[in-house]
Amino acid sequence: MKAEKIFSKILMWLPSLIITLFYIPNALDKILNSNQTEKIVTNSTILILTGVFLLISTALFLYNKTVIIGSSLLAFYMTFIVFIHMYKGKPYEVAILIVMATIFAAYIRKPQLFHQKKVID
């Protein structure tokens, strides 16, 4: 029974860890390599702030009490990236999948946050 509980916990956290493996290197690249010229925004300060935003959002996403805030921020960011890719004519399907995977990972960990509460009159 104990092994089943551990296995269930690992499976519950696996999508979140995979998502984190995408966002953390992306954030660190924006912070450490902020002089990228092929980006839509070439201002290094904005890229550094975006990297810090991604790190904070990922930390909120990983913390159980703030998973809904973190996933909302990460999904908002990636939705913005989808629109940028569409505008530039780049492939955007992977970015859409990352948005969906972020929401899915949050749902796997905290499904009760996604259910509507019934109001009693």
pLDDT digits (tens, 9 = 90+) for 80-120: 999 999 998 889 999 999 999 999 999 999 888 777 777 77
Residue with tokens 């999948």: 97
pLDDT digits (tens, 9 = 90+) for 63-78: 989 999 999 999 999 9
Give the containing element (helix H, strand E) for 2.
helix 2-32
Number of other residues whose CB lies within 10 A of the CB of residue 1: 5
CA atoms within 13 A on the CB side of 114: 12
| 63-68 contacts, C-beta under 8 A, 24 or more apart | 64/109, 64/110, 67/106, 67/109, 67/110, 67/113, 68/106, 68/110, 68/113
What is the reported pTM?
0.85
